[in-house]
Amino acid sequence: MREREREREREREREREREREIESEREEREREREREREREYFEVISSSRKNSVFLRAKDPAMAQSWYNAIQVGVLGLVPCVRDELRAMQSGLEVKHMGWITEQATQGPERPVLALLTERDLLLYPTLPDSKDSINSPAKSHPLITTRLVHSGPGKSSPLLDSELSFGLRMGTKLGVETHVFRVDSAKELSAWTHMLVDGCHNAAELIQEVTTACSWNGKECNLGVHIDEGFSLFTEEMGIRKTVLLQQPFERPAHQLDLHSCPKTMVFIIHSFLSAKVKRLGLLA
C-alpha cells in the first residue's frame, strides 16, 4: 500500500515536471516571438534629435533592408555636410564623422555626433547648424593626448564593452579619463579605429612640439617635448626662448622635474610622439 502511494507521488512529481518544462518552452517561444517582433522595427531620428519615427516592416529581413538603404543614403550626404561645416567655420577640416553612442558606468547611454579633425575629437549632442554651435562642442578631446585602448570587447568594464565598442583614454589636467563608445556595425568600428589611430599620429606630426611650465633644481623654467629632438629645458623672456638649460633625446633618461600641472597630459603627449615616430619608421601596420 505504501509502495503504491509512493509510486503515485512520483508519478505526480513527473507530471508536474513535464508541466514545468512545457511552460518553460512556451515562455521561450514567446520571448523569441517578441525578439522577432522587435527586429521588425527601426528608428529614424533627425539630426537635431527633435524628431523621430519608428517604422515597422513586415519581417526582420525587410527591416534590415530598409535600414541598410537609409544608412547608405545618409553616408552619401556626408561630403555635403562636411562642405557645409567648412563654409560655416573656415579652415575646419573634418576627417571623419558619424553618430556613435557613448556608454557610461552610471546613467543612460547617450548618442553623440563625433567629428574627427586634424587635431581634435569633437562631440556634439546634435549636428551643428551655426559657427557658434561648431565652436561649442559638448566635449573636445585633443588627439595628441588621446589613446585608443581597445577596439571590440575590452578586458575592463565588461558591462560596457561589446563586440562593436571601442575605448579611448585621455590625459587631462585632472588626470586620466576613460570613455567607451559603441557603433552600429563592424565596418563603422573598423573605420573609427583606423581613423583615430591615424589621427593621433598625424596630430603629433602636425603639432611637433608641446611646452609646459615646470621647476628644475629649484629654478622656474619650461619643459619642451619635441617629436624629433626629445626633451629640452629652457627659460623664456617675453615669450622667446632665452637660455637652454638641458637638451637630450628620448633615448636618454630624463631628469626629475616638478610640473606645475597634472603630469598625465605630458605622459600621453610623449606616448603620441613616440608612437608617431614608430609609425614613421614603418614599424606599425
* CB-based contact 103:160 (threshold 8 Å): yes
* Distance in angstroms (rounded) separating the CA atoms of residues 255 and 244: 15
Q: Does residue 157 belong to any structural domain of this protein? A: yes
pTM for this one? 0.79
214-222: average pLDDT: 87
Q: Tell whether 202 and 230 lie within a shared domain.
A: no
Cell representation of residue 282: 614603418
Establish if 49 belongs to a structural domain. no
Q: Which of 177, 207, 237 is the last residue of a domain?
A: 207
CB atoms within 10 A of CB 172: 15
For residue 50, being part of any structural domain is answered with no
Domain that holds residue 141: 57-207
- What distance in Å separates the CA atoms of residue 223 and residue 267, rounded to the nearest whole number? 12
Enter the DSSP assignment of 233. Answer: E
Q: Report the CATH number that the domain containing residue 116 is assigned in CATH.
A: 2.30.29.30
pLDDT band at 32 (very low <50, low <70, confident <90, very high): confident
Nearest CA-CA partner of 67 in 240, 85, 281, 75 = 75
Total domains present in the chain = 3
The pLDDT, as a whole number, for residue 154 is 59
For residue range 35-53, what is the model confidence (pLDDT) as tens digits? 778 888 888 888 888 888 9
> Which phi and psi (to 5°) does residue 193 adopt?
-60, -50
105 vs 154, higher pLDDT: 105
Question: Does one domain contain both 229 and 269?
Answer: yes
Residue 225 banded pLDDT, cuts 50, 70, 90:
very high
Pair (83, 189) in one structural domain: yes
Helix (H) or strand (E) holding 103: strand 96-103
52 part of a folded domain: no
Is 135 a member of any domain? yes
Q: Indicate if 21 and 134 belong to the same structural domain.
A: no
Using pLDDT thresholds of 50, 70 and 90, give the confidence band for residue 285: low
Highest mean pLDDT of the ranges 104-118, 122-136, 154-168: 122-136
- Specify whether 180 is located in the same domain as 248: no
Which three three-digit cell numbers place residue 267? 605622459
pLDDT top residue among 238 and 284:
238
Do 253 and 164 reside in the same domain of the chain?
no
Instruction: Share the mean pLDDT of the chain.
Output: 87
One domain, residues 214 and 198: no
Rounded mean pLDDT, 75-85: 91
DSSP element (H, E) containing 131? helix 131-134
| Residues 176 and 119 placed together within one structural domain of the fold | yes
Indicate whether 161 pLDDT > 60: no
Q: How far apart are CA 161 and CA 103, in angstroms?
A: 9
Tell me which of 189, 207, 225 is where a domain ends.
Answer: 207
CA angle 181, 187, 188 (to 5 degrees): 30
**Do residue 62 and residue 190 come from a single domain?**
yes
Given this model, what pLDDT does residue 189 score?
94
Least confident window among 100-109, 134-143, 167-176 = 100-109
